[in-house]
Amino acid sequence: MDTSQYMSMFLEESMENLQTLNEALLTLEQQPENMDKLNEIFRVAHTIKGMAATMGFSQMAELTHKMEDVLSKFREGKLKVTEKVVTVLFTCLDTLEKMVNNISEGNSQELPIEHIIADLHSIAEGHGTLEDKEIETAVTTDSTYNHIERINLNEYDIDVVKQAKEKMFNVYEIKILLSENTLLKAARAFLIFKSLEDYGEIIKSIPGAEDLENENFEFEINLIYITNKLKEEVNDILLNISEVEKVIVYDVEDKKGKEDFSDNPGDFKTIEQSPEVASEAVKNVATPENKNEDKKEAVVHKKAHQSVRVELDRLDKFMNMVSELVIHRTRLEQISSVHKLTDLNETLEQVARATSELQDLVMKIRMLPLEVVFNRFPRMIRDLSKDLNKEMELVIQGQETELDRTVIDEIGEPLLHLLRNAADHGIEPAADRISKGKNPIGRIKLIAYAEGTKAIIKVEDDGKGLDVDKIKTKANQVGINTDGMSEADIKNLIFAQGFSTNEKVTDISGRGVGMDVVKTKIAALGGTVDAISEIDKGTSFIIRLPLTLQIIQALLVKIGDETMAISLGYIDRVIDYKDNLIKKTNNKEVIVYNDSVIPLVRINKKLQIETSDSKKKYIVIVKVGEKIVGLLVDSLLGQQEIVIKPLGKTLQGLKEYIGATILGDGLVTLILDVAALV
């Protein structure tokens, strides 16, 4: 069997499933009695095992199978959820993640799993008698068939069943078992539903339609079905569908209610329905002539969550094509205005509108919620808490905030460093916290929200704060002159290369590379990072990032004879330049505006461009993080939507620019990196 076409699907789904297991295990450790979480973990582990076995990765399947053995002991109540057991299961997940990474990199080297399997084996063995083991083997070898789960009917379902029976219809409860080698379970489920709905109506399914579409189920589907077909016919219809391994059809008696209809009511979800839906279901079956129209209605509801997986390079190509369109649209607008072609105006407006909508659409398609980055951090903080022997908790807010995929890809590492730093440097040991009158459990917050064209991410801790004197001493040791620096500037020295206040190097921090990486990565994304801190109150790192990196609104300015672009995201306001505004302090030029002192940067001097003799000059006041600076420019050319094109290899070393753009008249213009200038 050629599995190559399924490989990318397998890798992506495995990583998603492993992340789900990580999160569910963390919850289970805090709520050992949570049976729903336990069932979810069991189900996801079973899915990973099935997928790995289908794709021929036997080592992965073996490890997950051993995990299942331990999990089934939890389910049967023979084993308690303890920190030690959860730690072993986490080691399992880390190993599985390494295996998936090896598969994606084409590395066929097998990982040593004997010690983990031995650990799992001893956990499973150490808590059960021989009889338990025999029962357990029976369950794990053929768990699908041994537990016949009956659907729990609510009062509406019973009402529908009654109405159907009165109209002489057959009502069946159907249990369908798919082959464990089924790759596209959702497609199989769709075929089952389609085949059955040709001859009747499904009034209830466990799992529900959404879970079936998202493949969020094992290899078992339970249905309540109203039809005028006989049991044998229903059986044949289903067994004719490939990969359906076993079908069991029961008669449903309308008198059976909640009490005696289920073996174990805790094992499944009930789907609530309104009385209108109930009578509608019977009507659908009772009137064959309306069947097709009604069925279309039903299908529309079922397809609420439909999505397509698209390769990222295709999206990038799409984005580039839209960018080209924006460039040519601007060019057309310019030609039209130069040649006064009024006939073109209306068409150009339509093109402009369509381009803008297309652009918005491609931006939204490229957006991903920060959740995909944030969801791996609770596990990391749990592990650090154990390693550092400190009690701490992580609070996450705003993980639904969306950012461009390129930003999402890059932001994980800086956040990782900031959180490790908060855990290692920020949060004090419990004894110190108690002596300061604080809660012995340290709290780290990860908060995200959108603000205009920027996304703000904050990493806050309620620890000991940044010690300015310690940073000053360290700065002087490494040769940084701190005279005349404000407290805020000294605190931000922690981002300097190789700077660390840790006396001893541990595997968590102290090498002085982390914060430097944070600053560099965030600057490369066109963002800024600031440290705000108060002794014994805690530290807050505020990251500001652009929501997207491809198309921005910019102000075009002249510096000498050169045209430059400045992103509107940074601009606070523009004021006229007057000689009497300029003052000097510490031999540096500043302007006094609205009672605040703002440093002045003459861009022409900074970039070594000859200034023009134009009488009227302007000061563009920009805000980067907490800093406000005035940029002196020769003239303003107006606001325009521009497409950021990266600089080629030759110009990559130029730190003052984030890229270039092509204007409507074909002129290539550099885009200033305001954060670097400031």
Which residues are catalytic, by number?
Answer: 46, 68, 421
Whether 81 and 89 have beta carbons less than 8 Å apart is answered as: no
Locate all alpha helices (DSSP H) within 147-290, ordered by sequence. 155-166, 185-197, 209-213, 231-239, 258-261, 275-286
Give the span between the Cα atoms of 35 and 522, in whole angstroms.
42
Q: Give the containing element (helix H, strand E) for 161.
A: helix 155-166
Sequence-ordered list of residues with C-beta below 8 angstroms from that of 357, at least 6 positions apart, any chain: none
Class of residue 667 by CB neighbours under 10 A (exposed 0-12, middle 13-18, buried 19+): exposed
CB atoms within 10 A of CB 22: 20
Please count the residues of the chain.
678
Whether 448 and 397 have beta carbons less than 8 Å apart is answered as: yes
Which among 414, 678, 408 is positioned nearest to 541, based on CA atoms? 414
Whether 21 and 69 have beta carbons less than 8 Å apart is answered as: no
Whether 540 and 460 have beta carbons less than 8 Å apart is answered as: yes
Radius of gyration of the chain (CA): 32
Give the span between the Cα atoms of 576 and 581, in whole angstroms.
10
Locate all alpha helices (DSSP H) within 538-615, ordered by sequence. 603-607
> Cα–Cα–Cα angle for 502, 505, 509, nearest 5°?
70
Locate all alpha helices (DSSP H) within 254-404, ordered by sequence. 258-261, 275-286, 291-302, 312-338, 344-366, 371-374, 377-388
